[in-house]
């Protein structure tokens, strides 16, 4: 595609690649899963004060994953305190369609759901999410291949590649998920690609080099004595890769 563009415009292939690089933005969204939930507002505000671009809110139903966290009432309360913060809800639930309206009412900006339990209804759910005023994210478990989401990418604002099994924090990063990220970046240069699970100072290089630009980090940030330093290092690593890219 870019070769054809270069043939018919005054721009070189290198210039087109640089333009794509400039269009991508790194965003760091700490997961609050392992925060002190009794101090949720204070913990969230601290993350934002230390450089977080958005908050990643893990919603689990005890069915799709064997754990429970919180639902839309908690998100709505948090929204009242953080009026201008970008909220992404990562819906680890068996019936994501059920929670679209409540989460929209709670003030969620980006509604990310897993394709595994709703393979035949993905486009329908994407439409409902957009009609509710939220952006759409599609999430893949480690055992789910790109082919499960490939036909729906154009309907999404973001693809989330899980780098641990969803449901629990503190797991070891799965480096063998990086080919999914690489394929997405090569085929969709401007797509927001998010990674979640075991992402920290020791694994951010792999994520950045593969092409991820949206970084979810849990315990590596929330448990750090110096959250600001960790967030800044994550950002610098990703931004270096964005600037070096040559699509």
Told to judge if 176 belongs to the known catalytic residues of this protein, a careful annotator would answer no
Phi/psi region, residue 198 (left: phi>0; alpha: psi -120 to 50; beta: rest), is left
Q: Is 203 helix (H, G, I), strand (E, B) or coil?
A: coil
Residues 227-231: contacts with CB under 8 Å, at least 24 apart: 227/30, 227/46, 227/47, 227/50, 227/51, 228/50, 228/51, 230/200, 230/201, 231/28, 231/30, 231/50, 231/51, 231/52
Catalytic choice (49, 53, 58, 192): 58
Catalytic choice (53, 105, 196, 226): 196
DSSP 236: H
- Alpha-carbon gap, residue 191 to 23, rounded angstroms: 10
Q: Known catalytic residues?
A: 58, 196
């Amino acid at each position: 595609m870019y070769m054809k563009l270069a043939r018919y415009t005054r721009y070189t292939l290198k210039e087109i690649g640089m333009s794509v690089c400039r269009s991508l933005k790194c965003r760091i969204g700490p997961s609050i899963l392992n925060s002190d939930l009794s101090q949720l507002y204070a913990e969230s505000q601290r993350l934002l004060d230390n450089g977080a671009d958005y908050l990643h809110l893990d919603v689990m139903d005890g069915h799709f994953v064997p754990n429970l966290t919180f639902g839309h009432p908690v998100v709505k309360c948090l929204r009242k305190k953080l009026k201008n913060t970008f909220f992404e809800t990562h819906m680890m639930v068996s019936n994501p369609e059920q929670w679209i309206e409540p989460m929209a009412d709670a003030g969620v900006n980006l509604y990310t759901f897993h394709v595994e339990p709703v393979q035949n209804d993905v486009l329908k759910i994407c439409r409902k999410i957009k009609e509710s005023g939220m952006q759409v994210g599609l999430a893949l478990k480690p055992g789910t291949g790109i082919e499960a989401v490939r036909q729906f990418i154009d309907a999404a604002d973001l693809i989330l590649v899980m780098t641990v099994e969803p449901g629990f924090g503190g797991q070891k990063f799965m480096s063998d998920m990086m080919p999914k990220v690489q394929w997405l970046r090569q085929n969709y240069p401007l797509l927001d690609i998010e990674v979640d699970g075991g992402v920290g100072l020791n694994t951010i290089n792999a994520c950045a080099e593969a092409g991820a630009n949206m970084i979810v980090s849990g315990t590596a940030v929330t448990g750090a004595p110096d959250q600001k330093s960790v967030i800044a290092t994550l950002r610098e690593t990703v931004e270096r890769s964005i600037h070096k890219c040559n699509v």
